[in-house]
Amino acid sequence: MKYDYLIVGAGLYGAVFAREAKRAGKTALVVDKRDHIAGNVYTEQVEGIHVHIYGAHIFHTNDKEVWDYVQEFATFNRFTNSPVANYHGELYSLPFNMYTFNKMWGVVTPEEAATKIEEQRKAAGITDPQNLEEQAISLVGTDIYEKLIKGYTQKQWGRECKDLPAFIIKRLPVRLTFDNNYFNALYQGIPVGGYTGMVENMLDGTEVRLGVDYLDPANKAELDALADKVIYTGPIDAYFDYKLGNLEYRSVRFENETLDIPNFQGNAAVNYTDAETPWTRIIEHKWFEFGKDADGNDLPKTVISREFSSEWKPGDEPYYPVNDQKNSDLYQEYKKLADAEGARVMGGSDSHGCSKAKPPVIFGGRLGEYKYYDMDQVIRAALDRAREELKTK
Ligand code: UDP
Protein backbone atom coordinates (compact mmCIF):
# COMPACT_ATOMS: atom_id res chain seq x y z
CA MET A 1 0.00 0.00 0.00
CA LYS A 2 1.35 3.39 -0.94
CA TYR A 3 -0.11 6.61 0.44
CA ASP A 4 -0.07 10.12 -0.94
CA TYR A 5 0.86 11.43 2.52
CA LEU A 6 2.50 10.12 5.63
CA ILE A 7 1.43 12.38 8.47
CA VAL A 8 3.66 12.26 11.51
CA GLY A 9 1.70 13.33 14.59
CA ALA A 10 -2.01 12.91 15.31
CA GLY A 11 -2.42 16.33 16.93
CA LEU A 12 -4.48 19.18 15.51
CA TYR A 13 -2.14 20.01 12.63
CA GLY A 14 -1.90 16.41 11.50
CA ALA A 15 -5.61 15.73 11.92
CA VAL A 16 -6.65 18.81 9.94
CA PHE A 17 -4.20 17.96 7.19
CA ALA A 18 -5.50 14.38 7.09
CA ARG A 19 -9.06 15.62 6.87
CA GLU A 20 -8.28 17.98 4.00
CA ALA A 21 -6.30 15.30 2.17
CA LYS A 22 -9.25 12.93 2.45
CA ARG A 23 -11.64 15.60 1.24
CA ALA A 24 -9.40 16.11 -1.80
CA GLY A 25 -9.51 12.39 -2.57
CA LYS A 26 -5.94 11.68 -1.41
CA THR A 27 -4.79 8.87 0.83
CA ALA A 28 -2.95 9.42 4.10
CA LEU A 29 -1.44 7.35 6.85
CA VAL A 30 -1.13 9.03 10.25
CA VAL A 31 1.42 7.78 12.77
CA ASP A 32 2.00 8.94 16.32
CA LYS A 33 4.53 7.76 18.84
CA ARG A 34 2.02 8.09 21.67
CA ASP A 35 -0.65 5.47 22.25
CA HIS A 36 -3.44 7.99 21.66
CA ILE A 37 -4.52 10.58 19.10
CA ALA A 38 -5.08 14.32 19.65
CA GLY A 39 -1.55 15.36 20.69
CA ASN A 40 -1.55 17.79 23.58
CA VAL A 41 -5.27 18.52 23.33
CA TYR A 42 -5.96 14.92 24.39
CA THR A 43 -8.65 14.53 27.04
CA GLU A 44 -9.48 11.46 29.08
CA GLN A 45 -12.51 10.68 31.23
CA VAL A 46 -11.97 10.30 34.97
CA GLU A 47 -15.02 10.06 37.25
CA GLY A 48 -17.17 11.38 34.40
CA ILE A 49 -14.91 14.43 34.00
CA HIS A 50 -13.00 15.19 30.80
CA VAL A 51 -9.48 15.73 32.08
CA HIS A 52 -7.14 17.82 29.90
CA ILE A 53 -4.20 15.47 30.32
CA TYR A 54 -1.58 17.82 28.79
CA GLY A 55 -2.86 21.03 30.33
CA ALA A 56 -5.92 23.22 29.94
CA HIS A 57 -7.05 23.98 26.40
CA ILE A 58 -9.76 26.56 25.84
CA PHE A 59 -10.69 27.02 22.24
CA HIS A 60 -11.00 30.67 21.23
CA THR A 61 -10.74 32.43 17.92
CA ASN A 62 -11.57 35.50 15.90
CA ASP A 63 -11.28 33.49 12.72
CA LYS A 64 -14.84 32.79 11.60
CA GLU A 65 -13.77 30.20 9.07
CA VAL A 66 -11.81 28.25 11.67
CA TRP A 67 -14.74 28.46 14.09
CA ASP A 68 -17.12 27.15 11.43
CA TYR A 69 -14.60 24.45 10.55
CA VAL A 70 -14.38 23.00 14.07
CA GLN A 71 -18.18 22.94 14.37
CA GLU A 72 -18.12 20.13 11.82
CA PHE A 73 -16.35 17.89 14.30
CA ALA A 74 -17.72 18.90 17.69
CA THR A 75 -20.43 20.81 19.48
CA PHE A 76 -18.91 23.57 21.58
CA ASN A 77 -20.26 24.64 24.95
CA ARG A 78 -20.38 28.24 26.16
CA PHE A 79 -17.36 28.06 28.50
CA THR A 80 -15.64 31.41 28.94
CA ASN A 81 -12.21 31.41 30.51
CA SER A 82 -12.00 33.64 33.61
CA PRO A 83 -9.00 32.55 35.64
CA VAL A 84 -8.47 33.85 39.14
CA ALA A 85 -5.03 34.92 40.36
CA ASN A 86 -4.00 33.87 43.86
CA TYR A 87 -1.14 35.96 45.25
CA HIS A 88 -0.32 34.65 48.74
CA GLY A 89 -4.03 34.14 49.37
CA GLU A 90 -5.15 37.48 47.89
CA LEU A 91 -7.49 36.83 44.97
CA TYR A 92 -7.57 38.98 41.82
CA SER A 93 -9.58 38.82 38.62
CA LEU A 94 -7.87 38.07 35.34
CA PRO A 95 -7.21 39.29 32.73
CA PHE A 96 -6.29 42.76 33.94
CA ASN A 97 -9.55 44.69 34.08
CA MET A 98 -11.58 47.02 36.29
CA TYR A 99 -12.23 44.25 38.87
CA THR A 100 -8.45 43.75 39.14
CA PHE A 101 -7.72 47.48 39.38
CA ASN A 102 -10.45 48.00 41.98
CA LYS A 103 -9.11 45.20 44.17
CA MET A 104 -5.48 46.33 43.75
CA TRP A 105 -5.93 50.08 44.28
CA GLY A 106 -9.52 50.71 45.33
CA VAL A 107 -10.07 52.74 42.14
CA VAL A 108 -13.65 52.89 40.96
CA THR A 109 -13.67 54.58 37.56
CA PRO A 110 -11.76 53.73 34.38
CA GLU A 111 -10.19 57.19 34.51
CA GLU A 112 -8.79 56.58 38.00
CA ALA A 113 -7.40 53.23 36.88
CA ALA A 114 -5.78 54.71 33.77
CA THR A 115 -4.23 57.50 35.86
CA LYS A 116 -2.78 54.98 38.33
CA ILE A 117 -1.24 52.89 35.54
CA GLU A 118 0.19 55.98 33.86
CA GLU A 119 1.74 57.22 37.15
CA GLN A 120 3.46 53.88 37.69
CA ARG A 121 4.63 53.62 34.09
CA LYS A 122 6.11 57.14 34.28
CA ALA A 123 7.78 56.46 37.63
CA ALA A 124 9.43 53.39 36.08
CA GLY A 125 10.68 55.61 33.23
CA ILE A 126 9.50 53.34 30.43
CA THR A 127 8.80 54.87 27.03
CA ASP A 128 9.69 52.16 24.56
CA PRO A 129 9.30 48.69 26.17
CA GLN A 130 12.03 46.29 25.09
CA ASN A 131 11.25 43.17 27.08
CA LEU A 132 8.43 41.46 29.00
CA GLU A 133 9.09 43.35 32.25
CA GLU A 134 9.02 46.77 30.60
CA GLN A 135 6.03 45.81 28.48
CA ALA A 136 4.10 44.59 31.52
CA ILE A 137 4.84 47.69 33.61
CA SER A 138 3.92 49.95 30.75
CA LEU A 139 0.59 48.12 30.28
CA VAL A 140 -0.56 47.71 33.90
CA GLY A 141 1.92 49.43 36.23
CA THR A 142 4.39 48.19 38.82
CA ASP A 143 1.99 46.84 41.48
CA ILE A 144 0.25 44.45 39.12
CA TYR A 145 3.55 43.49 37.55
CA GLU A 146 4.98 42.63 40.98
CA LYS A 147 1.97 40.68 42.27
CA LEU A 148 0.38 39.09 39.23
CA ILE A 149 3.04 38.83 36.53
CA LYS A 150 6.60 38.65 37.81
CA GLY A 151 6.51 35.47 39.88
CA TYR A 152 4.17 33.61 37.55
CA THR A 153 6.18 34.43 34.43
CA GLN A 154 9.49 33.51 36.03
CA LYS A 155 8.05 30.18 37.17
CA GLN A 156 6.47 29.46 33.80
CA TRP A 157 9.50 30.34 31.69
CA GLY A 158 12.38 29.76 34.13
CA ARG A 159 13.80 33.08 32.96
CA GLU A 160 13.85 36.65 34.23
CA CYS A 161 11.09 38.85 32.78
CA LYS A 162 13.85 41.15 31.49
CA ASP A 163 15.14 38.28 29.35
CA LEU A 164 11.81 37.41 27.75
CA PRO A 165 10.21 38.91 24.65
CA ALA A 166 7.49 41.53 25.14
CA PHE A 167 5.00 39.72 22.88
CA ILE A 168 4.34 37.00 25.48
CA ILE A 169 2.53 39.40 27.80
CA LYS A 170 0.65 41.01 24.93
CA ARG A 171 -1.31 37.76 24.68
CA LEU A 172 -3.28 39.02 27.68
CA PRO A 173 -5.95 41.70 27.33
CA VAL A 174 -5.85 44.85 29.48
CA ARG A 175 -9.29 46.42 29.80
CA LEU A 176 -10.81 49.44 31.46
CA THR A 177 -14.14 47.61 31.64
CA PHE A 178 -15.59 45.09 34.10
CA ASP A 179 -14.99 42.03 31.94
CA ASN A 180 -13.27 38.88 33.22
CA ASN A 181 -13.22 37.11 29.85
CA TYR A 182 -9.55 36.10 29.47
CA PHE A 183 -9.64 36.23 25.68
CA ASN A 184 -10.43 38.94 23.19
CA ALA A 185 -12.08 36.44 20.90
CA LEU A 186 -15.41 36.50 19.15
CA TYR A 187 -15.84 32.75 19.55
CA GLN A 188 -14.97 30.57 22.53
CA GLY A 189 -15.88 27.20 24.02
CA ILE A 190 -14.90 23.64 24.86
CA PRO A 191 -15.95 20.66 22.74
CA VAL A 192 -18.74 18.81 24.52
CA GLY A 193 -17.36 15.37 25.34
CA GLY A 194 -13.73 16.51 25.17
CA TYR A 195 -11.17 17.25 22.48
CA THR A 196 -10.31 13.63 21.80
CA GLY A 197 -13.73 13.06 20.22
CA MET A 198 -13.27 16.12 18.04
CA VAL A 199 -9.92 14.91 16.72
CA GLU A 200 -11.33 11.41 16.30
CA ASN A 201 -13.98 12.90 14.02
CA MET A 202 -11.34 14.77 12.04
CA LEU A 203 -9.46 11.52 11.54
CA ASP A 204 -12.55 9.53 10.64
CA GLY A 205 -11.79 7.41 7.56
CA THR A 206 -8.02 7.91 7.79
CA GLU A 207 -5.72 5.08 8.85
CA VAL A 208 -3.92 5.84 12.11
CA ARG A 209 -1.10 3.81 13.64
CA LEU A 210 -0.33 4.56 17.28
CA GLY A 211 2.80 3.79 19.25
CA VAL A 212 4.92 4.31 16.12
CA ASP A 213 7.98 6.52 16.50
CA TYR A 214 8.76 7.89 13.04
CA LEU A 215 12.20 9.14 14.02
CA ASP A 216 13.30 5.76 15.34
CA PRO A 217 15.94 4.64 12.81
CA ALA A 218 14.28 1.20 12.84
CA ASN A 219 11.09 2.76 11.39
CA LYS A 220 11.95 5.84 9.40
CA ALA A 221 13.11 4.42 6.05
CA GLU A 222 10.24 1.94 5.99
CA LEU A 223 7.67 4.65 6.70
CA ASP A 224 9.23 7.07 4.22
CA ALA A 225 8.89 4.41 1.52
CA LEU A 226 5.13 4.30 2.13
CA ALA A 227 4.31 7.79 0.94
CA ASP A 228 4.99 10.41 -1.71
CA LYS A 229 5.24 13.16 0.85
CA VAL A 230 5.66 13.49 4.60
CA ILE A 231 3.88 15.98 6.85
CA TYR A 232 6.02 16.17 9.97
CA THR A 233 4.60 17.81 13.11
CA GLY A 234 7.19 16.75 15.69
CA PRO A 235 10.02 18.94 17.01
CA ILE A 236 12.04 20.33 14.11
CA ASP A 237 15.37 19.93 15.93
CA ALA A 238 14.63 16.27 16.74
CA TYR A 239 13.98 15.60 13.02
CA PHE A 240 17.53 16.72 12.28
CA ASP A 241 18.90 14.77 15.23
CA TYR A 242 19.75 18.05 16.99
CA LYS A 243 22.70 18.50 14.66
CA LEU A 244 22.72 22.30 15.02
CA GLY A 245 22.09 22.06 18.77
CA ASN A 246 18.94 21.82 20.92
CA LEU A 247 16.13 24.30 20.61
CA GLU A 248 14.88 25.16 24.10
CA TYR A 249 11.36 24.27 25.20
CA ARG A 250 9.49 24.52 28.44
CA SER A 251 8.00 21.32 29.69
CA VAL A 252 5.14 20.89 32.13
CA ARG A 253 4.58 18.26 34.77
CA PHE A 254 1.14 17.63 36.22
CA GLU A 255 0.19 16.24 39.59
CA ASN A 256 -3.36 15.00 39.22
CA GLU A 257 -5.64 14.26 42.16
CA THR A 258 -9.18 12.95 42.33
CA LEU A 259 -10.90 14.40 45.38
CA ASP A 260 -14.00 13.11 47.09
CA ILE A 261 -15.52 16.56 47.28
CA PRO A 262 -17.69 18.33 44.72
CA ASN A 263 -15.84 21.64 44.58
CA PHE A 264 -12.16 22.38 45.29
CA GLN A 265 -11.60 25.93 44.05
CA GLY A 266 -14.85 27.05 42.39
CA ASN A 267 -13.20 27.82 39.07
CA ALA A 268 -11.52 25.98 36.20
CA ALA A 269 -8.20 27.82 36.60
CA VAL A 270 -6.49 29.48 39.53
CA ASN A 271 -3.05 30.96 38.81
CA TYR A 272 -0.58 31.08 41.69
CA THR A 273 1.24 34.26 40.81
CA ASP A 274 3.72 34.48 43.68
CA ALA A 275 7.25 33.17 43.23
CA GLU A 276 7.14 30.91 46.31
CA THR A 277 4.30 28.49 45.46
CA PRO A 278 6.02 25.84 43.34
CA TRP A 279 3.15 25.27 40.91
CA THR A 280 2.03 27.86 38.37
CA ARG A 281 -1.66 27.00 38.39
CA ILE A 282 -4.29 24.52 39.48
CA ILE A 283 -6.89 23.34 36.98
CA GLU A 284 -10.20 21.92 38.22
CA HIS A 285 -11.39 20.16 35.09
CA LYS A 286 -15.09 19.72 35.86
CA TRP A 287 -15.69 23.48 35.54
CA PHE A 288 -14.87 23.36 31.82
CA GLU A 289 -18.24 21.62 31.59
CA PHE A 290 -20.01 23.46 34.41
CA GLY A 291 -19.57 20.57 36.88
CA LYS A 292 -22.13 18.41 35.05
CA ASP A 293 -22.02 15.05 33.34
CA ALA A 294 -23.40 14.41 29.83
CA ASP A 295 -26.95 14.11 31.25
CA GLY A 296 -26.73 17.40 33.12
CA ASN A 297 -26.29 15.85 36.57
CA ASP A 298 -23.92 17.33 39.15
CA LEU A 299 -20.72 15.34 39.50
CA PRO A 300 -19.97 14.27 43.09
CA LYS A 301 -16.17 14.21 42.80
CA THR A 302 -13.59 16.51 41.30
CA VAL A 303 -10.24 16.15 39.53
CA ILE A 304 -7.53 18.77 39.95
CA SER A 305 -4.14 19.18 38.27
CA ARG A 306 -1.28 21.14 39.75
CA GLU A 307 0.96 22.38 36.97
CA PHE A 308 4.74 22.59 37.39
CA SER A 309 6.86 24.19 34.75
CA SER A 310 10.39 23.01 33.97
CA GLU A 311 13.13 23.33 31.39
CA TRP A 312 12.79 20.66 28.73
CA LYS A 313 15.44 17.96 28.60
CA PRO A 314 15.65 14.96 26.25
CA GLY A 315 12.95 12.45 27.15
CA ASP A 316 10.49 15.14 28.40
CA GLU A 317 7.43 16.30 26.49
CA PRO A 318 8.07 19.66 24.83
CA TYR A 319 5.21 22.17 25.39
CA TYR A 320 6.25 25.76 24.88
CA PRO A 321 8.92 26.95 22.45
CA VAL A 322 11.13 29.58 24.08
CA ASN A 323 10.95 32.32 21.49
CA ASP A 324 13.85 34.43 22.69
CA GLN A 325 16.48 35.75 20.27
CA LYS A 326 18.92 32.89 20.68
CA ASN A 327 16.32 30.22 19.98
CA SER A 328 14.66 32.17 17.17
CA ASP A 329 18.04 32.46 15.44
CA LEU A 330 18.70 28.75 15.83
CA TYR A 331 15.20 27.96 14.53
CA GLN A 332 15.94 29.99 11.40
CA GLU A 333 18.94 27.76 10.76
CA TYR A 334 16.83 24.63 11.18
CA LYS A 335 14.18 26.19 8.94
CA LYS A 336 16.71 26.40 6.11
CA LEU A 337 17.32 22.65 6.44
CA ALA A 338 13.56 22.05 6.60
CA ASP A 339 12.95 24.09 3.45
CA ALA A 340 15.53 21.97 1.65
CA GLU A 341 13.68 18.81 2.76
CA GLY A 342 10.46 20.33 1.42
CA ALA A 343 11.98 21.21 -1.94
CA ARG A 344 13.30 17.71 -2.55
CA VAL A 345 12.03 16.05 -5.73
CA MET A 346 11.20 12.36 -5.65
CA GLY A 347 13.58 10.19 -7.63
CA GLY A 348 12.87 7.10 -9.76
CA SER A 349 11.37 3.87 -8.49
CA ASP A 350 12.69 0.36 -8.00
CA SER A 351 11.38 -2.84 -9.60
CA HIS A 352 8.47 -2.95 -7.11
CA GLY A 353 7.40 0.55 -8.02
CA CYS A 354 8.70 1.90 -4.71
CA SER A 355 10.46 5.22 -4.70
CA LYS A 356 14.20 5.11 -4.14
CA ALA A 357 14.54 8.67 -2.92
CA LYS A 358 13.32 10.03 0.40
CA PRO A 359 10.00 11.87 0.03
CA PRO A 360 9.82 15.63 0.48
CA VAL A 361 8.83 16.79 3.97
CA ILE A 362 6.51 19.60 5.06
CA PHE A 363 7.03 20.83 8.63
CA GLY A 364 4.01 22.12 10.56
CA GLY A 365 2.50 22.82 13.97
CA ARG A 366 3.77 24.18 17.28
CA LEU A 367 6.74 21.83 17.35
CA GLY A 368 7.42 21.60 13.61
CA GLU A 369 7.46 25.39 13.25
CA TYR A 370 8.73 26.16 16.78
CA LYS A 371 5.93 28.63 17.27
CA TYR A 372 3.75 29.56 20.30
CA TYR A 373 0.57 28.72 18.36
CA ASP A 374 -2.89 28.67 19.91
CA MET A 375 -5.22 25.90 18.72
CA ASP A 376 -7.06 28.09 16.24
CA GLN A 377 -3.78 29.30 14.75
CA VAL A 378 -2.61 25.71 14.30
CA ILE A 379 -5.84 24.88 12.50
CA ARG A 380 -5.52 27.97 10.32
CA ALA A 381 -1.91 27.12 9.46
CA ALA A 382 -2.78 23.50 8.66
CA LEU A 383 -5.76 24.50 6.52
CA ASP A 384 -3.73 27.02 4.53
CA ARG A 385 -0.84 24.65 4.02
CA ALA A 386 -3.11 21.75 3.09
CA ARG A 387 -5.05 23.83 0.57
CA GLU A 388 -1.86 25.09 -1.01
CA GLU A 389 -0.48 21.57 -1.18
CA LEU A 390 -3.71 19.97 -2.39
CA LYS A 391 -4.53 22.85 -4.69
CA THR A 392 -8.00 23.05 -3.21
CA LYS A 393 -7.80 26.81 -2.59
N1 UDP B 1 0.81 35.75 32.77
C2 UDP B 1 1.07 36.29 34.00
N3 UDP B 1 0.22 36.06 35.03
C4 UDP B 1 -0.89 35.30 34.90
C5 UDP B 1 -1.18 34.73 33.64
C6 UDP B 1 -0.29 34.96 32.60
O7 UDP B 1 2.07 36.97 34.17
O8 UDP B 1 -1.63 35.10 35.89
C9 UDP B 1 1.77 36.00 31.67
C10 UDP B 1 2.89 34.97 31.65
O11 UDP B 1 4.05 35.63 31.24
C12 UDP B 1 2.44 34.02 30.57
C13 UDP B 1 1.78 34.97 29.59
O14 UDP B 1 1.14 35.93 30.42
O15 UDP B 1 3.51 33.33 30.00
C16 UDP B 1 0.80 34.32 28.65
O17 UDP B 1 -0.19 33.66 29.40
P18 UDP B 1 -1.19 32.62 28.76
O19 UDP B 1 -2.26 32.38 29.76
O20 UDP B 1 -1.57 33.10 27.42
O21 UDP B 1 -0.28 31.33 28.65
P22 UDP B 1 -0.70 29.82 28.30
O23 UDP B 1 -2.18 29.70 28.54
O24 UDP B 1 -0.31 29.62 26.87
O25 UDP B 1 0.09 29.00 29.24
pLDDT in tens, 174-190: 999 999 999 999 999 99
* Residue predicted with more confidence, 351 or 223: 223
Q: What is the tens place of the pLDDT at every residue in 219-277? A: 999 999 999 999 999 999 999 999 999 999 999 999 999 999 999 999 999 999 999 99
Find the residues whose C-beta lies inside 6 A of ligand 1: 85, 94, 148-149, 152-153, 156, 168-169, 171-172, 271, 273
Q: What percent of the chain has pLDDT over 70?
A: 97
pLDDT given at position 228: 96
The total number of residues shown for the chain amounts to: 393
Residue 328: Cβ-neighbour burial (10 angstroms; 0-12, 13-18, 19+): middle
Average pLDDT across the chain, whole number? 95
Bridge partners of 320? 250
Nearest ligand 1 atom, CA 156: 15
Dist. CA 19 → ligand 1 center (Å): 32
pLDDT given at position 365: 98
Average pLDDT over residues 345-355: 58
Work out the pLDDT band at 347, boundaries 50, 70, 90: low
Q: Is the pLDDT of residue 97 over 70?
A: yes
pTM over 0.85: yes
Distance CA 145, CA 138 (A): 9
Average pLDDT over residues 356-368: 91
Nearest ligand 1 atom, CA 83: 8
Cα Rg of the chain, angstroms: 23
Q: Is the pLDDT of residue 352 over 90?
A: no
* Residue predicted with more confidence, 353 or 364: 364
HEC per residue, 304-317: EEEEEEEECCCCCC
Q: What is the tens place of the pLDDT at every residue in 140-178? A: 999 999 999 999 999 999 999 999 999 999 989 999 999
Dist. CA 370 → ligand 1 center (Å): 18
